Amino acid sequence: MDIEHFRREYLQGGLSREDLHEDPVVQFNTWLSQAIESGIGDPTAMVVSTVSEDGQPSQRIVLLKHVEDNSFIFYTNYGSRKAKEIEGNSKVSLLFPWNKLDRQVKVCGTAEKLSVAESAKYFMTRPRDSQLAAWASQQSATITSRDFLMTQLAHMKEKFAAGEVPLPDFWGGIRVRPHEIEFWQGGEHRLHDRFEYTLQDGVWEISQLAP
């Protein structure tokens, strides 16, 4: 298969310094709202990158659930590969690929667990089947087949048949506090517009980068 000729021009529009808010989180929320309004699929989907103790990067797509307190929050099984790697190395990267808008946002920051109370508050808003699935799946563990997973789910449905499904002690939120956020807008002839916010002594500084 010949893929070297797959290309297109990025013509959705440019990005200038005057377009940007001084606060990158405010700017992110503006772009996120525009992504949602555009009707693209999974506008809150982001690539979460972590690094193992031996330096091996790993990536996966996760859904962003909150932007609050100048931070980005998602939820996961604390026994998963991503959570274990964060425990060993809290430096992570997030990437929002809004391809339909010719936009990307990259976030670099430090990750930490949410409190049990914060995690429980969100967990109780999830659909019941999603709550049960969190109990049924030991994320990233090796399983024999999907049948095993469905058997575990059936067991959890029986176990928690009466009353609310409690928060698993191995499941909760991850908060990413950013120190660098880059906004990328595709440009004609590969002359893309890139602006990077970096946190310096509590103040965000903005630099334009070559494409």
pTM over 0.85: yes
Residue-range domain boundaries for the chain: 17-119+169-209, 125-166
Lowest-confidence segment of 1-5, 180-184, 186-190 by average pLDDT: 1-5
pLDDT of 11 > 90? The answer is: no
Binned at pLDDT 50, 70 and 90, residue 52 comes out as very high
Closest Cα partner for 106 from 196, 187, 167, 39? Answer: 196
Q: Please pick, among 8, 17, 190, 194, the residue that the annotation labels catalytic.
A: 190
At 102 the pLDDT is: 97
CA distances, 142 to each of 26, 50, 52, 138, 180 (Å): 41, 20, 18, 9, 35
- Pull the structure tokens for residue 39: 């009707």
- Pull the structure tokens for residue 184: 């990328």
Tell me the mean pLDDT in the region 121-146. Answer: 92
Chain segment 69-117, per-residue pLDDT in tens: 999 999 999 999 999 999 999 999 999 999 999 999 999 999 999 999 9
Catalytic, 81? Answer: no
CATH classification code of 17-119+169-209? 2.30.110.10
pLDDT of 143 > 90? The answer is: no
